[in-house]
Each structure stands twice: as C-alpha cells, then as structure tokens.
Chains A and B, each alone.
Chain A
Amino acid sequence: NAGVTQTPKFRILKIGQSMTLQCAQDMNHNYMYWYRQDPGMGLKLIYYSVGAGITDKGEVPNGYNVSRSTTEDFPLRLELAAPSQTSVYFCASRSRDFNEKLFFGSGTQLSVL
C-alpha cells in the first residue's frame, strides 16, 4: 500500500512562476487536505475536500487553488508564486468517519526565490 504520495519532493520556483503539487492516495479516502508548515510553526490548513467535486477553503487559502476530479487525486495549484509561499507542503487524507486519524504524505519542500 503506497498510502499518500506527493510529488515533487523538492522544487525551486522564481517569483511569478506557477506550479502544481501533486497528491494521490490509494486508500479510497473521502477526505483530503493540504497543509503548509513554516519553520517553527504548526501545520496550517490551506484547502480541503470531502469528496470528488467538493472543495473548501481552510485557514490560509490565498494564492492557492485546488480541484478534486477523482477520489484519488487532490492537486494544489500555485499561481504567481511569491516568497511568502516558501514552505513545506503536506497532503493528507482520512476516511469518512469523524475523528479518524490523518495519513500524511512525505511532503514537498518549496522555495520561491
């Protein structure tokens, strides 16, 4: 079982460039999440999805977009990258039941220079 797979692991962007962070899970989980972790900070929720075709904003959605066309995939799009988006990005998923634990991917380290 692969669990939650994130690509790429590392990326350097120039200011103003755009990119898509990929996330896929093979556990048939309904709920998927994108978090970012800045140095010395906790994980902050960017966007989440409760199922295919349904997405919603989290705490820090500005500068990002998401889509959920399938149960398995939940890509995060960065448009017009800014230095403030330098962070480590984690994708996570869980099953439908409340209080189920989150399964995290290994993260994408993004630097915007």
Chain B
Amino acid sequence: GNSVTQMEGPVTLSEEAFLTINCTYTATGYPSLFWYVQYPGEGLQLLLKATKADDKGSNKGFEATYRKETTSFHLEKGSVQVSDSAVYFCALIDSGGSNYKLTFGKGTLLTVNP
C-alpha cells in the first residue's frame, strides 16, 4: 500500500533560519506529491505539488523536488518568517486508475520565533 513518512516535530527555528522538513514515500504506482499547510485554527491549504519525477514545486519561498530515486519530497525554505509557523503535511495521490484519495504523513509542527 501507499504510505508517507515525514520528519517528526516539533521543529523550532529562529526567524531567517533555513528550513528542511524531510518526507519519503512508498507507492505502488506513479504518485503525485504534495505539501499542505495548516495554520492555527484553519483547514489545510495546498502549498505546492509535483506530478512527476524531477519536477520542482514552489510557492511562497518554499520548494520541494520530486526525487524518484530516493522516493523523497523534502520541503525547504531559505529564510523562514514568524508567519510560517504552522503544521506541514506531506501527501501523495497514487495516480493509477481512478484513485483520488490523499495519503498523508503525520504532520510536522513548525514554530518560528522572532
């Protein structure tokens, strides 16, 4: 079956620090990969996505590259801000057939201090 393993938190950084949240996956087909973000008291928002190997998703200074050889999709940002404090979820959809169900990692809580 499909699964997503992401770096356990919580992660605490100072403003302007470099961020990496690791994510690896297992899938039976050719998955599309996602990072979702959940700000306090809100639902999830799509942060970025990649649909095939070597694609790089990017948004709001965050980046992640689809690495098929290492089955990874690590999230990075060069300089975090206090407003980036949130829970980050790595997820996949196994794009074979008519499956549209997301498989999520357990989430990583990021706190950025001023």
- Chain A partners chain B: no
